[in-house]
Every structure is written in C-alpha cells, then in structure tokens.
Amino acid sequence: MEVLKYLAGYPTHVQARVHELIDQGRLGDLLANKYGQAHTVRSDSQLRDYVQAIKDRHLRKSVPLAKVIYDSKLQVMKHALGTHTTISRLQGNKLKASREIRIATVFRDAPAEFLRMIVVHELAHLKESEHNKSFYQLCTHMEPGYHQLEFDLRLYLTQREIAPP
C-alpha cells in the first residue's frame, strides 16, 4: 500500500480506509460536504486581526505577536503544519522574545475550520515548542475539535494533491 505522506503517522487500518475512499472517488465529496464554509480572512492584516482575537481570548498573557502573515513559500508538511519563529531582539537591557506567525497560503482558500485549526496550532507554540501532551492540551482548550480537524486537514491536503484545485 502506498504511504499517504500526510497520514504517515497514522495506523495502517486508517490509511487503508483513506485509500478506499480515494479509490472510490469519494474523498473530495466527503470533505466538501463536511467543510463547505469558506472564510473571509484574505489579507495579512485580516489574518493578523483573526489570530490576535483568538490569542486575546485564550493566551492573553503570552508573548506578543510580532508579525502575522500568509507565506506562499511555506510547505505545510515540511514545516510541520506551519512555522513558528522566535525573534529575539534587544529591548532596553532585556532580551525579549516576540513571535512571528506565518501561515501557509494554502489556508487562505481552505475551509474556515482548517484555518482556525492551524492558527490554534501556531498559537499553542507560543507556550510549547514541542508537539507534546501539554501542547495538544492547549490546542484542544482553544478548539475542542482540534484532533478531528487536524486529521481532516490531512485528508484535505491529500485530496488536494490528487485533484489540485
């Protein structure tokens, strides 16, 4: 069975089920029915407001956001679903970290739920750099459906490669 790169970390029976959906030509419809809602976060400044609003609600006290942008050079998988850069700069006598969040451009046209999921993922990295248990607890705190959304996002990216938009 060919390995599905976006689902490489999942058990074989899960991958087999996805292969079945692909072979039956059903994956695209299934996703379109479940995630039909587009979003209106088109520009970098809209993205910034969107990210800031979620941060204000859940992570008000964590480091300030330096910059929030869509980045067309980002590859979703290579950068583990997004990227998180720490920029240290000198402020007064203290070295302060501010954070930059870059979101792969593919999310600009993705359903609303996937943008939210990736933003929650990147925000959780403000507090946890590793993908560990407390990282995922933060993600599910901000978005209770996080795990299902991350799985479905992987299906979405798989489908996008089979049938590019």
Give residues in contact with Zn ion (CB under 5 A): 80
Q: How far is the CB of 51 from Zn ion (least distance, A)?
A: 15
Residue among 4 and 119 whose Cβ is closer to Zn ion: 119
- Which residue type occupies 6? Y
Residue among 22 and 76 whose Cβ is closer to Zn ion: 76
Q: How far is the CB of 23 from Zn ion (least distance, A)?
A: 31
**In 3D, which of 72, 93, 97 has the Cα closest to residue 85?**
97
Residue among 82 and 111 whose Cβ is closer to Zn ion: 82
Q: What share of the chain is helix, strand, coil (3-state, %, to 5)?
A: 50, 15, 35
* Distance set, CA 18 to CA 106, 123, 163 (Å): 21, 29, 15
Q: In 39-158, which ranges are E strands?
A: 65-71, 83-91, 94-104
Beta strands 94-104; 83-91: pairing state:
antiparallel
Residue among 80 and 162 whose Cβ is closer to Zn ion: 80
Q: How far is the CB of 148 from Zn ion (least distance, A)?
A: 17
Q: Select the residue whose beta carbon is closest to Zn ion and give its number.
A: 80
Q: How far is the CB of 34 from Zn ion (least distance, A)?
A: 24
